[in-house]
Chain A
């Protein structure tokens, strides 16, 4: 059902040739980067807790874990830094007609994000190379600016997206952008809640993914303190986030009926305005009708409007040319919500049983569930972004600038898209390979290779004494 919709967009004649490849490329590179960005945001806090326990409670296991996570983060942050750079190039390369007229409206949060990223990169360098070279307590403290920068940077980047959904801080006069107030644009009405939603999501993604790694280890019979600790702390972070997330999400969704009725209608698969509106689980829009959904009466109104009988606007209130691709929006929204509640359940069950004295880590079935929670959290984030981005279509700046008018007219952007897929696939394979080999090496008891570039022999000048000096020619 999704495919015909995409194909329909391809053959739509009035679109610039660069639109679809630009959209796909942006979606792909952003969707890829978002996972790494989550690590940049959430991992410093988790490492901090581990490292703190290692130093102040003298837990050798915790210190070891902090050290290993730091090494993994070195690889992930490096890849995240370059994929983030790709995005900042793409803003101009793919959307010149967004960045030209609106660059000075939406640019300020990006500038602040640059500041945050700078801070993170500097302290990352200090932290990674500080092991054994700095006073331990000061070394630990270098994680705090990283965590703070992750928090602030998330706000900045998400604020731009929030602005695209709720544009403000400018006026259009005779087709020109005037009265620019970049602060108002940065602190738009949606910025805070949308930021909170993403920030909490980052902790779910990283928490469940990292915990899942140790769940795999326990399933394979490695049931030592190292694995238990490696599981529990990230899982605790993820649990808190999973509990908060539905609340944040609910507040974020409030007012959507007034703000973006078309998006809400697509979320709810509402073809006509109904009051009270049901909650539709699953289902698809076929020939303008909602089919195969499970309808729960009243709940749609309750969720969207905080009332049992308030009307939920339907697609009929939206002109056809302003409607988003309904099925993609609806399904990805429901996927996000569904996974969110499942993850919440997993977290609650674990802590509830623990409180009652039962340790679910002894149960293989629970560990198996934990292994999939990480990938599910990633899926939820991707689905959430898809829902909010596709749901905003056909606008890139809601109500102001259509995506088709922001795109470049380049048909050969398809080639770029193909090249991007290849490069990112190679990056993914390489990063996975390297991190896997790191963990294998750790398990076999080795730390790092003495020097990754050559045999240790003859590494140092002093050891060369007596040998004839190798002359370069």
Chain B
């Protein structure tokens, strides 16, 4: 394995981690938005706040990790992707800013009206952001970003692949979040809320499956290289993803919420890895390969040092944080 490939793999692990962990955070927006009025939605919104409160900042850092490793390891392709996809990037960025800030603001709002306002901003931007990030992924995967310089500002991402990439991202996030929230609700002893969330999660899972299936036709026309990879080398992963998705639905129906989290994560991680394998060896599909896009060798070595350090320092800390959030003490409602 070449250095460039190791770094690209580390980069892609970041993409998958952001997709799964950040995705689950973002997906809560759908449930927050549809929780209902102040009275009937209070319980669900409190649960959302409690579930993502301790972890959202850490989950958000994966995005920064991805950006930084990208521009350090593959600088020219980063510059061209950023200048080509400046519009969807900016919309995603706006969503990230509004969401992060309003989530914190809502928690400490003085009045219900203020909390409601920040809550709507939080929830709406949580839904919008994954769409644009998915559109960015679609533009790269369908070969719209040139190796150097700038591609078209509009036609590079106003395409079927980007559109379905965005829609699938939103739906997947919602599905993931639903599985996690259902499990959290059960652990906190909120049984009727868990049942309500379960129903919505199953519905969103089914919709996700249908949309993914329906998207295959336009995507195969729009992004032939990606499709070839998805049906070739990445096919096993796509099958795993489909099976894990179905298993999640079944586990939800059977009320095995804790196990369903594992299969849901597998389903999403598998589809994301499938994308990575599917477009291998391209970094920017049809334009530049991972090997050709790589920056200086010494820098790639440096990046691998960072990744190893991250595994040693961040890995255990992150595990500790996630473990804490799953304990009895942390499931208690706040009373401070």
**Residues of A at under 8 Å CB distance from B?**
67, 71, 74-75, 77-79, 81-86, 88-89, 91-93, 96-97, 99-105, 107-108, 110-115, 117-119, 121-126, 128-134, 145, 177, 180-183, 408, 410, 416, 419, 423, 427, 430-431, 433-435, 437-438, 440-441, 447-449, 451-455, 458-461, 464, 469-470, 472
Contact = CB atoms under 8 A, between A and B. Distances in A.
Nearest to B46: A451
B90 to A, nearest CB: 7
A77 B96 contact: no
Interface of B: 36, 38-43, 45-46, 49, 53-58, 60-61, 63-65, 67-69, 71-76, 78-83, 86, 89-90, 93-94, 96-112, 114-116, 118-119, 148, 150, 189-193, 196, 200, 295-299, 302-303, 306, 309-310, 313-314, 317-318, 320-321, 324-325, 329-330, 332-336
B105 A430 contact: yes
Nearest to B55: A125
B110 A75 contact: no
Contacts of A181: 298
User: Which 8 pairs of residues, A with B, have the shortest CB-CB distance?
Assistant: A107-B72, A103-B75, A454-B42, A104-B295, A437-B110, A92-B82, A180-B296, A78-B104
B330 A99 contact: no
Given A85-B96, A125-B54, A461-B191, 15 more contacts: A84-B64, A86-B97, A100-B80, A105-B296, A118-B317, A133-B332, A180-B297, A182-B298, A182-B299, A419-B94, A423-B94, A430-B118, A454-B45, A458-B42, A460-B333
B41 A453 contact: yes
Contacts of B46: 451, 453-454, 459
A83 B42 CA distance: 29
A378 B317 CA distance: 33
Given A100-B80, A103-B79, A86 B100 contact: no
A2 to B, nearest CB: 29
Given A92-B71, A437-B109, A119 B317 contact: yes
Contact of B105 (A107, A118, A123, A431): A431
Contact of B64 (A88, A145, A435, A459): A88
A111 B79 CA distance: 17
A89 B302 contact: no
Interface on chain A toward B: helix, strand, loop, or mixed SS? helix
Contacts of B68: 88, 107, 110-111, 113-114
Contacts of A131: 336
B107 A74 contact: yes
Nearest to B66: A114
Contacts of A85: 60, 63-64, 93, 96-97, 100
A416 B83 CA distance: 13
Contact of B317 (A104, A123, A408): A123
Question: Which residue, B71, B303, B314, has most C-beta atoms of chain A within 10 A?
Answer: B71
Contacts of B93: 85-86, 89
B57 A121 contact: yes
Given A85-B97, A89-B93, A100-B80, A449 B299 contact: no
Given A84-B64, A111-B303, A454-B112, A470 B324 contact: no
Contacts of B200: 472
28 contacts: A78-B57, A81-B60, A84-B64, A89-B67, A96-B79, A96-B83, A99-B78, A100-B78, A104-B72, A104-B73, A121-B61, A125-B53, A125-B321, A126-B54, A126-B321, A129-B53, A129-B325, A134-B329, A177-B296, A182-B72, A182-B298, A427-B101, A434-B110, A438-B108, A438-B110, A452-B49, A452-B107, A455-B38
Contacts of A78: 57, 100-101, 103-104
